[in-house]
Structure 1
Amino acid sequence: MQSSLNPASSASPTPAARPGSPTWLVTPGIVPARFATAVASGAAVALLDLEDSVPAEAKAVARASVLAFVGTRSADEAGPLVGVRINVVDGAEGRRDVAAMTERNVWPDLILVPKVESSLDIGAVVRTVAGAHPTTQVWALIESPQAIVGLSDIVQTPGLAGVLFGAADYAAAAGCRITSRALWYPRSQLVTAAAAVGIPAIDSPFFALDDMEALRRETLEAVELGFAGKVAIHPRQLPVIEEAFAPSPRELEAARAVLAAADRASAGVTTAEGAMVGPPLVAAARAVVRRADRALRFTTQTAKVR
């Protein structure tokens, strides 16, 4: 699909820093009363949705509400990134979403573009944002078999900040179930393609609100696969996701032992707990410690909110 957006510039933006926490919270753009709650939830990204959660007859109202909220936030205001999932960019509503941001000069911290299946679907948005507000991140929502097949093209779009997996739409298009076994392949492909170009991948929401144990299992799978985070559809899912991404006490202890051994070593290779330790394992250990620090910040932040 080729977007009919008129790119404002051919320059590529410099992607902003990736979110500091693995938690995203999506909120319907038609419910303004929930916007502030999402921002105060402790999530790294408060994502306001203009697409699937908004019926056709309410698109204009939701767009106005979302942009009004975004416009009240200062660029240096503390808190999460505030993102907007726009509508499909080769459709009228998607064009209106981007046009409204341009005309009002109101830009979120992050724009999520749905139904991306090629660089053409995302490139025009990236270039438009680069010309108007280069600090806004542009992410691609990958939610079809065609998108998985075209990942190499999509992730190499200059200026793309990250990718997010949409399990429900993918399963509908592929005719499969929304289960771990059915979605292992596309999720693995997405993480691999993103890692190859150095951008983060965020896992799909878990849709059963009352099954926290299943959410924990699925989030641990996302950690194993290499996802940088996961989307929540309700604030009560956030602590479960954050806890799953945090290293276990044993994992943290082992990481600290590796770093201590590396600090003592004068050469590039040493041993820790009976295992050889080289630069790749040291880098992995530092990542574990960063995950632990991030989890501590989340716990502190959400405690203050409560």
Structure 2
Amino acid sequence: MTAKVAPAGVWFITPGHASECFPTAYQCGADVALVDLEDSVPAVAKSSARAAACGFFAASAVTGTTLGVRISSPATLDGVRDLAAIAAFPRKPRIVLIPKVESPRDIAIVAGVLDTPGYTPLLYALIESPYAMEVLPSIVRADRIAGVLFGTADYAAATGSTMAWEAMLHARSTLVTSAAAAGIPAIDSPFFDLDDLDGLRREAEQVKSLGFAGKSCVHPRQLSTVTEVFGPTDEEIAAARAIVEAAETAGGRIVRVGHRMIGPPMVAAARSLLARAGTPREEHA
């Protein structure tokens, strides 16, 4: 099992062979910044991307952002080379995103290569195929899994569907339900229309309402929109404080707050929101 809580919120992905984009990843304010060694890197640039990724993690003074890497599938030669390279990095990624996951074995392979007594990265499974959906209960309960991401592009290609909201709703609902049952976060796919910020906001709000803990971005212009959606508002924080205070005053009994009856599930959700907002407990105790 992992030693720390897995990051949620806003994820930003930058191509591994484009080192000139690394400063943007460090400074964009995302909760997680991933350097990509998989789909965004052409085959001829894979080797140079691995070398550049080593430098990505060597950066100093990166604060507030967790750094990670998306490798190629561990069932491919590029994936094997990625893992060998990462194992030799002087400074290593906190998160490793594993694509094309269709079995707990994929996670076990990565953990077997990278885990050492002093280093156990957070391993995220990228779920992007119909078969992965069928075996999802076994994947989300893998010993070293920290969370899951949804990949709409590959999933739509495999099913022959579009990436429209209605077409992806069943898969998204299945993923977030399985993740919640296993107690791990689910992060949503990027929104690929870079010029449709209204569509991005609408989709981010919809996946948040489903229960996703965050959403990934592939361009800096998307970050502020996704941050606004997934960052707790002042009103949400105030409401959560009121719920926790009322519950503690009531000694854990069901209590009325405003027009709502509040029971243990709502109190747990309020505490979780305050924790994500970084609100010290004494402020709402």
TM-score (norm 2): 0.90
**Cα distance change of structure 1 residues 273 and 184 upon mapping to structure 2, 3 Å threshold:** same
- What is the distance in 2 between the residues matched to 1:161 and 1:98? 18
Segment of structure 1 superposing worse, 262-271 or 136-145: 262-271
What are the within-5 Å matches in structure 2 for residues 189-208 of structure 1? 189-208=174-193
From 84, 94, 113, the counterpart of 1:99:
84
Q: 2:134 aligns with which of 128, 133, 149?
A: 149
Structure 1 residues 266 and 105: CA distance shift in structure 2, 3 A? closer
User: Sequence identity of aligned pairs in percent?
Assistant: 47
One-letter identity of the residue aligned with 1:264: T
Question: Which residue is equivalent to 2:161?
Answer: 176
Between the aligned partners of 1:264 and 1:122, the Cα distance in structure 2 is: 44
State yes or no: 1:112 paired with 2:100: no
Quote the residue 2:19 is aligned against: 32
CA contact (8 A) 2:186 2:213 kept: yes
Q: Deviations over 1:135-188 (max 9, x none)?
A: 311111110101111101111110111111100000000111001100011111
1:55 — aligned with what? 42
Over the aligned positions, Cα root-mean-square deviation in angstroms equals 2.1
SS at match of 2:92: coil
Indicate if the aligned counterparts of 2:252 and 2:264 stay in contact, CA closer than 8 A: no
Structure 2 contact 107–144 (Cα < 8 Å) conserved: no
Structure 1 position 197, deviation (Å): 1.2
- 1:254/1:93 CA distance change after superposition, 3 Å: same
1:212 to 180, 197, 204: 197
SS at 2:149 equivalent = strand
The answer for the alignment partner of 1:17 in structure 2 is 5
Alignment of 1:248-267 (within 5 A): 250-266=235-251
Determine helix, strand or coil for the equivalent of 2:268.
Answer: helix
In structure 2, the residue corresponding to 1:173 is in which secondary structure? Answer: helix
Q: Alpha-carbon deviations, 1:285-304, whole Å to 9, x = none?
A: 2233345558xxxxxxxxxx
Contact kept in structure 1, 2:66 and 2:94, CA below 8 Å: yes
Change (3 A) 1:132 1:144: farther
SS in 2 for 1:54: coil
Tell me which moved more, 95-104 or 227-236. Answer: 95-104
| Matched ranges for 1:76-91 at <5 A | 78-91=63-76
Contact 2:6 2:122 in 1 (8 A): no
Paired with 1:106 and 1:254, the residues of 2 have a C-alpha distance of 41
How many residue pairs get matched?
Answer: 279
Q: Who is 2:283 aligned against? A: none
**Residue 274 of structure 2 corresponds to residue 286 of structure 1:** no
Distance 1:257 1:16, change over 3 A: closer
Change (3 A) 1:192 1:274: same
Whose RCO is larger (CA < 8 A, sep 6+)? 1
**Aligned AA (2:95):** L
8 Å Cα contact 1:155-1:193 kept in structure 2 = yes
Contact in 2 for aligned 1:261/1:272 (Cα 8 Å)? yes
Deviation of residue 86 (structure 1)? 0.7
Q: Secondary structure at the match of 2:207?
A: helix
- Residue 266 of structure 1 and its aligned partner are, at CA, apart by 3.9
Compute the TM-score of the two structures, normalised by the length of structure 1. 0.85
Question: Which amino acid letter does the alignment assign opposite residue 25 of structure 1?
Answer: F
How far, CA to CA, are the matches of 2:102 and 2:208 in structure 1? 25
Q: Assess, with a 3 A threshold, how the Cα gap between structure 1 residues 275 and 79 changes in structure 2: closer, same or farther.
A: closer
Worse-matched range after superposition: 236-245 or 175-184:
236-245
5+ long unaligned stretches in structure 2: 280-285
The unaligned stretches of length 5 or more in structure 1 are 1-12, 295-306
